[in-house]
Amino acid sequence: MPDLKDGETTEMKGSGAKPYVLKNVGGVYSCSCPAWRNQSTAIERRTCKHLRKLRGEAAEKERLGGELPAKPVKPAAEAKGPPLLLAQSWDNAMDLSGWWMSEKLDGVRAYWDGKQFLSRQGNIYHAPDWFVEGLPATPLDGELWIDRKKFQQTVSVVRRQDKSEHWKSVRLLVFDAPQCEGSFESRLQFLADTLGADQHPYASLHEHQCCRDVAHLQEELARIEHLGGEGLMLREPGSKYEVGRSTSLLKVKSFHDTEAIVLDHRPGKGKFKGMMGALIVQLADGTEFSVGTGFSDAERVTPPPPGSVITFRYQELSDGGVPRFPSFVRVSTLAVVEAANASEPVSATAKAVKSKKKEADTSVPRYFEFSDGKSNKFWEIAIDDTEVTVRYGRIGANGTTKVKGFANTDAAQKQYAKLISEKEGKGYTETNA
C-alpha cells in the first residue's frame, strides 16, 4: 500500500467539492476531513476512512496499537457546554470609568453546576469530594487557579481523573453567579455572603474594585503585569449575566508600539485577493514575522514598499521573541527618509536586513501548548547539528519522542522552521515548559 513519508502531503477526493489533505508530520497522520478533525481523542490516536484507504487497515491498526474504531467519534459540535458569559477585547477607546475591575487569571475557566465542575466545552473536571464539599447548589462561574505563570501546572492537575492530592494546590476564584437575578453588584453581594470570611477552604470571591478612570486602569494593569499577571477584566456596572460573547465583559492587556523594516509582501486571499494580504517584516534583532491587520483597503492596494519602516502595535512577545497580535499603525516617515538618503540604496538595505538571521540557540527545546477544551497537548522541538528532535503528548505526561536525521544542518534548520510554522498555524502557542 502507498504511504506518506515524514513531511509529505497528498490529496484524496471526498464528498465535498474540494479534496481532503492527508499529512504525515513526525509520524502523526492527519486528514482535513470533518470525521478526523472532530474526534476528541489525541491527534496521534486519530484515524479516518481516508487514512485507512491510503495506508491500509492493517497499517493503521498497527500505528494505533489496537483495534480501529468501529464508527466515527461523536462530533464535538454535539457536545453542549455550560451557559457562560464570554469576554470581548477592549478597543482602547471606550470609557471604562465606573466599571468593575479584576485581575485576568491565567487558570482554567470552570462552571460549577451545583454538583460538578464543567469546562467551557462541557467536559467534567474530577475534583475530589473534599474540594467541593460546602460549595452551594447555585451555579458559580470562576477559575481554577494555582498562581500566576502556573497555567500548565493547573491544567495538569485539573485534567486528572484520579481526584488526587494535587488539588490541594488549587483554588476556585469565583467572579459571578450565572443564575442569580439582578445586577452584577447584587450577584457580587450574593457571592460575598456565600463565600466570604473564609467560609470555604478552597473557594473565595475574586477581588473587584471600581475603575476610576483610564489612568487608574493603566496603573492597575501595570501593577498586575509587573506581578506576572495576564491583564485585567472589566465588568459593566449594573449588567446582567448574558450567555455568549458580550460587551458587558471586556478583557484588557497592554499594547506596545515599535518599528520594523518591511522585507516583502504576502498576497491577499479571499476579500483581499489582488491586494496585499500581509507585510513580511523584521525587527532590529533579526526576528521575522508578518503583520496582516490594521490596514485600510487603500493601504492594501498601495502597501509600504520593501525597505520602508512601519510602526506596529502588539500585545506581548512570545517566548521566542515574536510579537503577538501585531497590528499596523503607520509608516514611519522619518525612517523612510533616512533610508532613502542612506549611502546604500533602499532595496540593497532591505536585502541586507533580510539576509541577517536571528541568532538563537536551537539546541534549547522550544515548547508549545494547545488546548481546545477536548484535549490539552504539548509539542517540543530542538536541533542538535543535523538531527531534529520532537517530543509531543498530553500535558502532564512524558509524551513520545522522535528523532530524525538530515543530510546537513541547513536541511535540519529548514525542517525545524517548517514544523514550528505548521504547529503555530494549528493554534499551538509557545510558552515556558
CA dist 141 and 179 (Å) reads: 10
Is 168 part of the annotated catalytic residue set? Answer: no
Q: Which CB contacts under 8 angstroms, 24+ apart, belong to 63-66?
A: 63/29
Which of 181, 178, 203, 183 minimizes the C-alpha distance to 192?
203
Task: Please give the single-letter amino acid code of residue 188.
Answer: L
Among the listed residues 104, 253, 354, 377, the single catalytic one is 104
Instruction: Cell numbers for 203, please give them.
Output: 473557594
Q: Which residues are catalytic?
A: 104
